[in-house]
Amino acid sequence: MKIYDLLGIGFGPSNIALAISLDELRQLGHPLECLFIEKQPNFAWHRDMLLNDADMQISFLKDLATLRNPRSHFTFTNYLFEKGRLQDFINLKTFFPSRQEFNDYLCWAASHFENNCIYHEEVIEVLPEKKGNEVTLLRVISRDHIGNVRERLTRNLVVSIGGTPKIPDSFRALRNDPRIFHSSQYLSSIADLGHAKRIAIIGAGQSATEIFLDLHGRSSELEIDLIMRGRAMHPSDDSPSVNEIFNIEFTDYMFSRTPEERERLLKEFHHTNYAAPDIDQIENIFRILYNQKVTGISRHSVITNHITHEVETSEYGIRLQLADLETQQIQERDYDAIILATGYLRTHHQTILAPLATYLPNFSVTRHYRIESTPNFKPAIFVQGASETTHGISDSLLSVTAVRTREIGDALASLTHNEAGTITDRRVIA
Ligand SMILES: Cc1cc2nc3c(=O)[nH]c(=O)nc-3n(C[C@H](O)[C@H](O)[C@H](O)COP(=O)(O)OP(=O)(O)OC[C@H]3O[C@@H](n4cnc5c(N)ncnc54)[C@H](O)[C@@H]3O)c2cc1C
């Protein structure tokens, strides 16, 4: 069986950026035989949240390449140039393209690597290949869309699989009810619920407010409740000084802190990314609620300071018992659909890598994204997007992607030149 230098799980922005970095390294004389495995049938960036009016929450200059190599073919600016829209984009006078356009940019970038990516195949587990007492290779097991199981061997692995939906406890048993779904399935699930009239959105972040505004614009028949634990909607803080926590150097700072200091930093800057929609979203919702007062026609509400206490479903609808966090009073409300804009978990790599757990104590990650392993485990495994607690809030965003992938690429290039795999990435990158 062929042995790859690198297999990548997922082909989202993180691994597309890595493919670009590896291509740069190939041009510098470090070719790597690599293949990425992606479960979607083709590239799409958060497909079910590609809403018409949604914009990027980050400057287009934090694209797949600019911060590492502004002269790259793969910058957003060159994409605009190739598509004949550079001047028009300049005249838009924005740093924040629509999400539709950024998706098109990412599709364009991904299309350059058709020969390095297998679509419609989901990696289900990774097994150790042993020689005596040593793990020398990894066997990556995947399943394609018609159920065929595939196996591939690799010297190294990079896991960049994004998040998995975070489902609150009270809804966990109802996961198979098509009337209750996570924001990551919004567009396809709402399309199947044409009859739904009363809809609750649980959450207070960007996805929750985007979905509220999208539903409001769909039909004047819909009645929408936005239900949140907080007392108010807090806007995302992207002011210049705060934004410095997304700078490249901040990763070194964060990583060098003690666990307590890191925790304090994550708490202090939580509202840059979590439960924090853009201010214009909050203003638009407030304007809709105000207009209801003017017209006397009340369709939507924002219910703050409440959590879901219990959920009952029947063929007629879904009844939520909502508990007031201050008074503990319970109110009951009936809906036709519930949308859980409740965020993501970033631990699924541990499930995929579970057969290797004895070699990867605690799944702790080095500064350069390599999972620490026991001395008898030779393959290097890197993760992207799963190290927020050690590397900072930028880890799950696009902010450091261009530079992070060069760090991983450098480590890989050095490792493959040292077949024994005995050097650590700290020595490689120093
Ligand atoms: C709606 C939305 C909007 C966002 N907007 C912004 C923004 O404006 N700016 C910003 O900085 N960040 C934003 N983010 C954060 C987002 O995480 C990053 O933009 C970016 O998508 C991270 O890229 P990634 O490749 O690490 O993860 P993802 O984009 O999640 O890609 C992971 C890929 O891995 C695939 N995959 C997962 N499991 C497997 C498996 N077992 N086998 C094979 N393939 C698998 C998935 O199908 C997916 O294609 C947004 C997130 C969401 C949900």
Ligand 1 neighbour 14 (Cβ under 6 A): yes
pLDDT of 117-165, one tens digit each?
999 999 999 999 999 999 999 999 999 999 999 999 999 999 999 999 9
- Banded pLDDT at 346 (limits 50, 70, 90): very high
- Banded pLDDT at 415 (limits 50, 70, 90): confident
Contacts of 353 (CB under 8 A, 6+ apart): 125, 126, 159, 360, 363, 371, 381
Q: Where are the domains of the chain?
A: 3-163+346-429, 165-236+273-340
**CA 169 to mean position of chain CA atoms:** 21
- pLDDT at position 428 over 50: no
CATH class (in words) of the domain with range 165-236+273-340: alpha beta
CATH class (in words) of the domain with range 3-163+346-429: alpha beta
What is the number of the ligand 1 atom nearest to the C-alpha of 62? Answer: 11
Q: What is the mean pLDDT of residues 2-8?
A: 97
Between the CA of 11 and the centroid of ligand 1 the distance, in Å, is: 9
Same fold yes or no, 3-163+346-429 and 165-236+273-340: yes
% of the chain at pLDDT higher than 70: 97
- Banded pLDDT at 416 (limits 50, 70, 90): low
Between the CA of 223 and the centroid of ligand 1 the distance, in Å, is: 30
Q: What is the mean pLDDT of residues 154-179?
A: 96
pTM of the entire predicted model: 0.95
- Banded pLDDT at 430 (limits 50, 70, 90): very low
Ligand 1 neighbour 122 (Cβ under 6 A): yes
Q: What is the mean pLDDT of residues 58-68?
A: 97
Cα–Cα dist 48/428, whole Å: 40
Ligand 1 neighbour 9 (Cβ under 6 A): yes
Between the CA of 116 and the centroid of ligand 1 the distance, in Å, is: 19
CB contact burial 356-389 (16+ within 10 A = b; e otherwise) = beebbeebebbbbbbbbbeeebbbbbbbbbbbbe
Where does residue 305 fall: left (phi above 0), alpha (psi -120 to 50 degrees), or beta otherwise?
left
Ligand 1 neighbour 59 (Cβ under 6 A): no
